Amino acid sequence: MQIVGFSLVATFLALIVKEQKPNFAFLLIVFVGCAIFLFLVDQIYAIIHMIEKIAVNAKVNIVYVETILKIIGIAYIAEFAAQITKDAGQGAIAAKIEMGGKILILAMAIPILTVLIETIIRMIPS
């Protein structure tokens, strides 16, 4: 509720300020986005810690869990950057950010995909 309230107030304020100073309104929106992210850092840490604990209990190789968490982080950061860039009216750059994020995700996922394919091949009878 705090995030929603904060966001709505900032949105209305940005709409009012946009008439007079569009650059200031854009900076306000960027600031609010960063503030929301910083507000959620504790929850993000708790989720990551919980996932790592579950992986250890399930005896899953922690390298794979860390890789998946990095992939999720790349997706969120790329999305955040693309949305900010779109808000600035730079849709072409936003598309490049999204493409770059997808390529990084694919590159990081290759070791996991390799292990998955090798496991499936070992399960298939010869």
pLDDT reported for residue 62: 87
pLDDT of residue 53: 92
Tens of pLDDT along 92-124?
999 999 999 999 999 999 988 998 899 899 898
In this prediction, residue 107 carries a pLDDT of 95
pLDDT of residue 104: 96
pLDDT under 70 in the chain at which residues?
A: none
* Residue 74 near residue 99 (C-beta atoms within 8 A): no
**Model-level pTM?**
0.75
